[in-house]
């Protein structure tokens, strides 16, 4: 009975990377290190059939440092027109296969590649925005896969909101309705 909600979550996550204007394209990613939670908005680059999610970042960011110390992640998606919230929790896997990295790197528009080529690491203090310098012939591009262990679906509607928690056991997902 809960399967239809998992299927809807899958469709919305696929649309998040497939359709540029879909609200799931940008999502809030939370990491934690030493008990300090950190949130930021990232771009959903791909969703896989197993519901794993892919995003890109600079390898020198705080989120990568967090992941290296604690691979647990939480991702939050919200669709304002549908009043649909999807929360995904799981483990991060930093992609290290160079062929895969090269494949992803070549999908990035030339104008966006500079985001991964700053001379200084992201979050380094500078005096003014025009003081950002870029390097040529080198990048700090990093791809990260979020491998989900739970997915929480929340549909705000009347007369009743619908909330379902899906848990992955081996390769299968099982769903349990929750009080919204």
CATH of the domain at 47: 2.30.110.10
In the chain, the number of structural domains is 1
Q: Is 97 a member of any domain?
A: yes
User: One digit per residue, pLDDT tens: the chain, 180 residues?
Assistant: 899 999 999 999 999 999 989 999 999 999 998 889 999 999 999 999 999 999 999 999 999 999 999 999 999 999 999 999 999 999 999 999 999 999 999 999 999 999 999 999 999 999 999 999 999 889 999 999 999 999 999 999 999 999 999 999 888 999 999 999
Q: What is the structure's pLDDT at 77?
A: 98
- pLDDT of res. 137: 87
Q: For residue 133, how many C-alpha atoms fall within 13 Å in the half-sphere facing its CB?
A: 5
Distance CA 125, CA 53 (A): 31
Cα–Cα distance, 83 to 116 (Å, whole number): 34
Does some domain include residue 126?
no
The domain in which residue 16 lies consists of 3-119+133-178
The pLDDT of residue 1:
86
- 99 assigned to some structural domain: yes
pLDDT at 162: 97
Cα dihedral 79, 80, 81, 87, rounded to 10, equals 30
44 domain residue, yes or no:
yes
Q: Which of 50, 140, 143 is nearest to 104 (CA)?
A: 143
Q: Report yes or no on 42 lying in a domain.
A: yes
* Residue 57 placed within a domain: yes
In a domain? residue 53: yes
> How far, in Å, CA of 44 to CA of 24, rounded?
7
In this predicted structure, what is the pLDDT of residue 33?
87
In a domain, 36, yes or no: yes
């Amino acid at each position: 009975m809960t399967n239809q909600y998992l299927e809807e979550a899958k469709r919305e996550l696929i649309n998040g990377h497939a359709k540029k204007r879909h609200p799931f394209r940008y999502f809030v990613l939370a990491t934690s290190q030493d008990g300090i939670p950190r949130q930021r908005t990232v771009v959903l680059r791909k969703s896989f059939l197993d519901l794993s999610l892919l995003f890109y970042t600079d390898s020198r960011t705080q989120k990568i440092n967090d992941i290296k110390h604690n691979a647990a992640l939480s991702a939050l998606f919200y669709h304002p027109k549908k009043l649909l919230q999807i929360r995904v929790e799981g483990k991060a896997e930093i992609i290290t296969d160079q062929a895969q990295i090269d494949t992803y790197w070549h999908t990035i528009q030339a104008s966006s590649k500079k985001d991964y080529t700053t001379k200084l690491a992201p979050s380094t203090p500078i005096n003014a925005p025009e003081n950002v310098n870029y390097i040529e012939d080198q990048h700090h591009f990093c791809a990260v896969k979020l491998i989900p262990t739970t997915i929480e679906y929340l549909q705000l509607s009347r007369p009743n909101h619908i909330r379902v928690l899906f848990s992955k056991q081996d390769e299968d997902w099982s769903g349990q309705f929750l009080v919204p």
